[in-house]
Amino acid sequence: MKIDLNKLKQDLKGYIRRLIEGPLELYYEHVQPRVHAVTSLARTELIDYPRGSERNRRLVLVFAGIFIADYLMYCLHTNKNIGDIFPELPSLSHEKKVSVYLPALDGATIMRETREIPLYDSDEKTAKLLFETVVKGSLYDNTAMAVPAGLFVRKVWIQGRGSGNGRVCIIDLEPAELRLSATVIKNSERLFRRAVEKTITENIPSIKTVLVLEKGVPGTALWEL
């Protein structure tokens, strides 16, 4: 059976033309008029609006709406609660003194400082604040290089029944990023983990073990390879 190549080429060209023309017709018929309508409305109501103060007010509202939508999408993709942007409101009527243990710059010593923290209604909130306090470092010495990475808590939860001994505090972090021009001190991460565990277990006696995860993964190195 002889195949007519010319006819085959013509049929193929016609098929490709129909594939291209179909979406183009759909665009020109349905999409383009709506794009022109939205563009015209934006120009009329925002860019060319005669009253300057009203135009600026509308522009501020538009950009605020864009930023809010962007934040909502960020929350959706990172599994964060929308209210996480606001800091927790501690009870201002009660505070307590705690011992905070901080890694020193020699990679071997743990320092002790006394702080006052709010009296929260849950151990999870207290553990989160204690962890963040260790990350920030000393109030009296520059110990920022002892924790050379930015550490942000995703979630803290405590496993174990009641308030008895043997509970486990689990701290889940966002992936850590070294700060620009940061120098990693040898053994600094192991010392930091010891300081965190000592700080939390001493101030919350029911907790005996502290686990630090990175986006749900245990045993991940935070900044030391």
β-strands 110-118, 95-103 pairing? antiparallel
The number of C-alpha atoms within 13 Å of 23 and in the hemisphere containing its C-beta is 4
CA quadruple 113, 115, 121, 127: dihedral, nearest 10: -30
- Amino acid letter, 47: I
User: Residue 121: its pLDDT value, please?
Assistant: 84
Give 155-185 pLDDT, tens digit per residue: 999 988 655 568 999 999 998 888 888 788 8
d(CA 189, CA 209) in angstroms, rounded, equals 17
User: Residue 88: its pLDDT value, please?
Assistant: 63
User: Residue 22: its pLDDT value, please?
Assistant: 78
User: Residue 144: its pLDDT value, please?
Assistant: 83
User: Residue 63: its pLDDT value, please?
Assistant: 86
Q: What pTM was estimated for this model as a whole? A: 0.58
Signed CA dihedral, 98, 99, 105, 107: sign only? negative
Taking the CB of residue 136, how many other CB atoms lie within 10 A of it?
A: 13
- Kindly give the parts of the chain with pLDDT less than 70: 1-4, 49, 84-93, 161-165, 225
User: Residue 86: its pLDDT value, please?
Assistant: 65
Query: In this structure, are residues 169 and 122 in contact, taking their beta carbons and an 8 Å threshold?
Result: no
Residue holding tokens 């999870």? 124
**Three-class secondary structure of residue 216 per DSSP:** coil
